[in-house]
Amino acid sequence: MKAFKNLLHGEDDELSSAYDDFHRKVKLEADATLRSTLAYVGKIDATTERLDRETKTSVANSGHVHEQLERKTISSNPYFSASESKSRSRGRNRT
């Protein structure tokens, strides 16, 4: 009869304590998961920022390399050198 009363009215201290302990542990796990997720997002953000900087540097460097190769191609090719000289002299005459 006591078990039935406890079930009906929720007066079992041991069951109540176990229930509270269960919910406390679930909350601790949820908090740990949240902290872990936030830490991982922080690492992803830092990696993304680093990759963005490296990409911008690579693009800038490739632009410099392209300009240098273009200059070498123009200066070493007689056709480009002659037409480049003519276009430069025409441009100077216009101003």
Residue recorded with tokens 């963005």? 52
**pLDDT category, 1, cuts 50, 70, 90?**
low
Residue found by looking up tokens 């005459």 in the block: 93
Q: Which residue has the tokens 């542990």?
A: 25
For 20-58, the pLDDT digits (tens) are 999 999 999 999 999 999 999 999 999 999 999 999 999
Tell me: the pLDDT tens digits for 54-86? 999 999 889 888 888 888 777 777 666 555 555
Only one residue has tokens 């050198």, namely: 81
As a whole number of angstroms, the distance between CA 15 and CA 24 comes to: 14
Non-local CB neighbours of 75 within 8 Å, separated by 6+ positions = 81
Domain with 89, as residue range(s), is: 12-94
Note whether residue 76 is domain-resident. Answer: yes
Q: Is residue 6 part of a domain?
A: no
Is residue 74, in this structure, part of any structural domain at all?
Answer: yes
Q: How big is the chain by its Cα radius of gyration, in Å?
A: 37
User: Quick check: pTM over 0.75?
Assistant: no
Question: What total of structural domains would you count in the chain?
Answer: 1
